[in-house]
Amino acid sequence: MHAGPDSIAKTGRTSNFESASPSFDVKLTAPILSAGSYRVFVERSDLIFIQVEGGKSQIVAAFAPLLGPAGGLIPLALWLLGKRSARLNRERIETENPEDLLSESTANFKLHVAEIREASVEPPKMFMKTGKAGELNFSIRYDERVKCEFENAAQMTKAIQLLAPLLHSTLRVNVVWNEKTGKFEKKKEQSRPL
C-alpha cells in the first residue's frame, strides 16, 4: 500500500491547542447541502468533520452564464475569494481544538462510531472529476449516506490507516495499491475453493 509522506507546514504561531488530533482531508459530495472540502479529525470514538471550503459557491457559479458576459467574471471572483478563505481556514483549523470548531458553522458535524452502520473505501469511478484517488462512503442512522472523495492517494492512505482500527469490521477496504499505475484499484475478488 502506498504511504507517501504527508508534509505538514509549521506556522510558527503559538496557540493554546496544537492540533495533535489525527486527521485527513476529503471532499464531501453528499449530502449536497453540506458539500465542500473538509478536514476529518479522528478523536476517541468520533469523526469530526470541519468544513474548510464550502461548495455553495459552485451553485452560484452554475448560474453565472445566465447573466451574460459579465457573468463570466463571477466564477473567477468566487475562485479567488474561496482559495484565500480556504487557506485561512486551514491555518486556523491546524491550531484550534476540533470540538471548539464544531459550533462555528452548520456545515460542521460529528459522527459517533456507533452511528456508522457501514463504511467502505472504494476505487475512483471512471467519471470522477475531483476524487482522483477514490471515495469513502458511510451508511449511518436512518439510511442516511455520507459520500466523500479523496483528492490524492496520500490522504486516502491516511484515512484507511486511521479508520481501520476505529471502525473494525464495519469498514470494508475495497482497494489495493498498484505500484505500476501509481493508483488505487478495485481489490480483486478471491474465489473460494468448493
For residue 13, tell me if it sits in a domain. no
In a domain, 41, yes or no: yes
Does a structural domain hold residue 9? Answer: no
Query: What are φ and ψ of residue 184, in 5° steps?
Result: -80, 140
* Distance in angstroms (rounded) separating the CA atoms of residues 14 and 17: 8
Q: Tell whether 1 is covered by a domain.
A: no
pLDDT score recorded for residue 80? 63
Q: What pLDDT is recorded for position 2?
A: 38
Residue 2 lies inside a defined structural domain of this protein: no
- Asked if residue 165 belongs to a domain, the reply is yes
With respect to residue 5, please indicate whether it lies within any of the assigned structural domains: no
Assigned domain for 194 exists? no
How many domains, the chain?
1
d(CA 162, CA 136): 13
pLDDT tens track, the chain, 194 positions: 333 333 333 333 334 444 468 999 998 888 877 888 899 999 988 999 998 887 655 555 555 566 677 666 766 666 666 666 667 677 777 878 888 888 888 889 999 999 999 999 999 877 655 557 899 999 998 889 999 999 899 999 999 999 999 998 899 999 998 899 888 888 887 655 55
- Are 150 and 26 a contacting pair, CB within 8 Å? yes
Of 28, 54, 26, the residue nearest 40 (C-alpha): 26
pLDDT at site 157? 94
Residue 138 is part of a domain; what is its CATH number? 2.30.29.30
Domain that holds residue 112: 23-185
SS3 of 74, please? helix
Half-sphere exposure of 85 (CA within 13 A, CB side): 14
Cα 24 versus chain centre, distance: 7
Residues 28, 49: contact at Cβ < 8 Å? yes
